[in-house]
Every structure is written in C-alpha cells, then in structure tokens.
C-alpha cells in the first residue's frame, strides 16, 4: 500500500489539505470535479450559502455514484477467484 501524503487542493477559493494515499493528480481531479459541480449548482440555483451549495453538491455527486453502481454489472466472486487461481498457477515457479 502506498504511503499517505498531504496534498493541497482548492475548492471554491478555499484551500484544503488532504491526507491520502491517492495520487496527487487523482485528488486534483476530484477537487476540480467538486469545484465545477459547486459552481454549476450555484449558478443554477442562485444559492449563496456555502453549506447549502455543499449539501446540494454532495447529493448531486452521490446520485451519480448510486447511478453508476446500479448500472455496473455484478461481480462474480467465484469466477474472479477461479481466474485469480489460474493466473497464480500460471506464474508460479516450476517446483522441479
């Protein structure tokens, strides 16, 4: 597992320091997505209270996550284990 590091991101003009083992580029992309979603919600709703905008953003992004999860094919764990065993046996050193 990667070591956690602190990454600075900016959302709606406010700096946040995030401790994570995610790559900094990934955290920057996530922060941009949040910032862009908040900006879109502010302009669509006219909301000015940062708490209201944050809650609407959280609901919007959670709706997207739930939608992706609902459309994702289920994982066949038995098949995944079988494929993992097959791959491991293919790369295992020859005992002779």
Alpha helices in 1-96 (DSSP H): 24-45, 50-71, 77-91
The total number of residues shown for the chain amounts to 96
Per-residue pLDDT tens for 15-66? 999 999 999 999 999 999 999 999 999 999 998 899 999 999 999 999 999 9
Q: Is 63 exposed, middle or buried (0-12, 13-18, 19+ CB in 10 A)?
A: exposed
Q: Single out the residue of 35, 23, 29, 18 nearest to residue 8, CA to CA.
A: 18
Average pLDDT on 10-17 reads: 93
């Amino acid at each position: 597992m990667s070591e956690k590091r602190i990454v600075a991101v900016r959302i709606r003009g406010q700096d946040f320091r995030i401790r994570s083992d995610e790559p900094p580029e990934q955290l920057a992309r996530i922060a941009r997505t949040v910032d862009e979603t908040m900006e879109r919600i502010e302009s669509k709703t006219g909301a000015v209270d940062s708490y209201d905008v944050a809650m609407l953003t959280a609901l919007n992004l959670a709706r997207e996550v739930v939608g992706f999860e609902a459309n994702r094919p289920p994982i066949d764990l038995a098949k995944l284990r079988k494929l993992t065993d097959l791959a491991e046996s293919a790369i295992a050193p020859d005992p002779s």
